[in-house]
Amino acid sequence: MLILGLTGSIATGKSTVSSLLRSPPYNLPIIDADIVARQVVEPGTKGYDSIVQYFGPSTPDLLLEPDASGKRLLNRPALGRRVFGSTAERQRDRKILNSIVHPAVRWEIYKALMYHYIRGNWAVVLDVPLLFESGMDIICGTVMVVAVKDEKVQMERLRARDAHLSAEDAENRVKSQGDVKGKVEKAEYRGTGNTRGVVVWNDGDRADLENEVRGAMAKVAASSPRWWAWLLLLVPPIGVSAALWDLIVNFWRRKSWEKMVRDERAKL
């Protein structure tokens, strides 16, 4: 089974691409890390308790009013204001929040991947905004980055979508998810020729985006045919070997990338 890692930055169109891949003619199952992240911090979970314990005393509006069932959900905009930004305090709080949420999300994602593997799916989309930053790109056979070439387009789309955001809030959210150009460079370094890294540009309208996705998926399907997915399922030793090979190649490419970045910085 091909694990297709889908990532991008905020307001680049990743959710639209995810929707396209979920629909015909692709019909791929989607594991959405954002949805999983919400589930692991619902009232009654360890994640919820940890967030309330750390952020509650200094964030009076952290919890919403009780709903019909008496539960007090997290006030996500209030929590977002605490962790999005470039100040040392916000970076620290963001790391703490990630340390609470990420391990629980990873576990749920691994369970979902096993479920789809057993069902014999040809491929599954792992939709993770911080795919590279979380290190989960290492388990992906292909990484697809949805990107825009002009940051102004990204900012305009974000404020059009979330009208309550100020210009500063929008900028903080964009920066918190990393430079999308950096993600493009990582995907291309992974190997666009062998479809380990694929870039889908979304500076135009929906029709342009659909054409981009169609071309990218044609390349991906050609490099990972359906018969290969069935072989991996029916012959477990081959499946395990293929998974280990992907891990080794992805790990080596990551280390090679990190070395290249260090060497370039040393030249400055």
Task: Spell out the domain ranges in the chain.
Answer: 1-29+123-268, 35-120
CATH code given to domain 35-120: 3.40.50.300
> In this structure, which topology does domain 1-29+123-268 adopt according to CATH?
Rossmann fold (3.40.50)
Angle at the Cα of 129 (from 13 to 191), degrees rounded to 5? 85
Q: Which pLDDT does position 14 carry in this prediction?
A: 92
How many angstroms separate the CA atoms of 128 and 143, rounded? 10
pLDDT at 153: 77
- Domains 1-29+123-268 and 35-120 in one fold: yes
Question: What is the rounded CA–CA span in Å between residue 208 and residue 13?
Answer: 12
**Residue 219: closest CA among 243, 201, 193:** 193
109 and 131 Cβ atoms separated by less than 8 Å: no
* Tokens coding 212: 């981009």
Judge residue 27's burial from the number of C-beta atoms within 10 Å of its C-beta, 0-12 exposed, 13-18 middle, 19 or more buried. exposed
Mean pLDDT by 10 residues, the chain (268 residues): 92 92 96 92 93 91 88 89 85 91 91 91 93 91 91 77 73 69 90 83 92 94 87 87 90 91 83
Instruction: List the alpha helices (DSSP H) in the chain.
Output: 14-22, 33-39, 46-55, 76-83, 88-118, 131-134, 151-161, 167-176, 180-191, 206-223, 226-234, 236-267
Residue 192 has what pLDDT?
Answer: 64
Report pLDDT for 177: 61
Q: 236 preceded by cis ω (within 30°)?
A: no
Residue 176's pLDDT is what? Answer: 64
Question: What pLDDT does 87 receive?
Answer: 85
